[in-house]
């Protein structure tokens, strides 16, 4: 994903699921007997919520009917067809005297997500910050129990010519000693279009007038090409199949 700087250590563990099947969902029958069922239900709920939001975007942007829905028909069917990912994230407690954990360490470096949008559920530990459009100040995201944050991603920003922004965000290590010695959990659902989708603002904004410059100069890429370009900008040209983060 992410626009991290390649130097600052990121203190987190992640588990990504791109395809909802038995092979990809860990079954820890003894320690977590209901895990597979719970995570499958959660993933399906996130997919249903994403479908609802895609419909709402169609209404808000007055797109041709099913314009977004048809382009997101393969969510969680595998990253060979669609990069949608459910990510479980654990940020371990900070131990100040361990190497790499104090000076300059972050939980998740500043970045924008790549896809259409991200649904983010977080616990109450805090640390998530966003940069709102037009400003460079980092704002704390509070925690409302049960709430889900919707973060615009980069493809949505290209598609809508920045009417919906990709929101820069990060997770900082809490300053207060008592809080930093507790771990933090979050779950993100990265909603992506099908890989072959051409990310063309002209399809989405068909009813809106465009300037002459926008209509002639625009080069159109597929979702797959744009994501590969992101990976190679972030990790270097040899990183072909790395996942978001």
Site residues, ligand AKG (CB under 6 A): 1, 87, 89, 108, 113, 120, 122, 128, 169, 171, 186, 188, 245
Comparing CB distances to ligand AKG, the nearer of 24 and 208 is 24
Q: Report which secondary-structure segment, H or E, holds 46.
A: helix 35-61
DSSP state of 71: G
Within 10 A of 82 (CB to CB), how many other CB atoms are there?
Answer: 26
Burial of 131 (0-12, 13-18, 19+ CB in 10 A): middle
Q: What is the torsion angle, in degrees rounded to the nearest 10, for the CA atoms of residue 194, residue 198, residue 204 and residue 205?
A: 160
Q: Which is nearer to ligand AKG, 168 or 201 (CB)?
A: 168
Identity of the residue, 113 or 154, whose beta carbon is nearer to Fe ion in the bound complex: 113
Residue 209: DSSP 8-state: -
**Residue 244 lies near Fe ion (rule: CB under 5 A):** no
| Residue 113 interacts with Fe ion (CB under 5 A): yes or no | yes
Total binding residues toward Fe ion, as defined by CB under 5 A: 1
Instruction: Provide the minimum distance between the beta carbon of 130 and Fe ion in the complex, in angstroms, as a whole number.
Output: 10
Residue with the shortest CB distance to ligand AKG: 186
Residue 165 interface partner, choices Fe ion, ligand AKG, none, CB cut-off 5-8 Å depending on type: none
Nearer to ligand AKG, 43 or 128 (CB): 128
Cα separation, 182 vs 141, in Å, equals: 18
Stretch that binds Fe ion, among 26-34, 44-52, 105-113, 227-235 (CB under 5 A): 105-113
SS3 state at 128: strand
Query: Which chain residues interact with Fe ion by CB under 5 A?
Result: 113
């Amino acid at each position: 994903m992410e626009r991290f700087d390649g130097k600052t250590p990121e203190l987190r563990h992640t588990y990504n699921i791109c395809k909802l099947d038995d092979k990809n969902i860990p079954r820890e029958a003894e320690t977590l007997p209901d895990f597979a069922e719970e995570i499958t239900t959660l993933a399906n709920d996130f997919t249903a919520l994403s479908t609802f939001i895609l419909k709402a975007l169609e209404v808000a942007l007055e797109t041709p009917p099913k314009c977004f829905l048809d382009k997101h028909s393969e969510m969680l069917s595998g990253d060979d067809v669609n990069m949608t990912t459910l990510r479980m994230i654990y940020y371990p407690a900070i131990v100040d005297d361990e190497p790499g954990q104090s000076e300059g360490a972050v939980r998740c470096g500043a970045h924008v997500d790549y896809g259409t949008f991200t649904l983010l559920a977080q616990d109450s530990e805090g640390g998530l910050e966003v940069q709102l459009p037009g400003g460079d100040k980092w704002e704390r995201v509070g925690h409302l129990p049960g709430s889900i944050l919707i973060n615009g991603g980069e493809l949505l920003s290209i598609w809508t010519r920045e009417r919906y922004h990709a929101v820069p965000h990060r997770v900082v290590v809490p300053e207060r000693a008592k809080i930093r010695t507790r771990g933090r959990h979050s779950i993100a659902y990265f909603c992506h279009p099908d890989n072959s989708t051409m990310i063309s603002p002209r399809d989405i904004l068909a009813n809106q007038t465009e300037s002459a410059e926008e209509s002639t100069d625009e080069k159109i890429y597929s979702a797959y090409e744009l994501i590969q370009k992101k990976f190679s900008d972030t990790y270097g040209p040899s990183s072909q199949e790395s996942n978001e983060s």
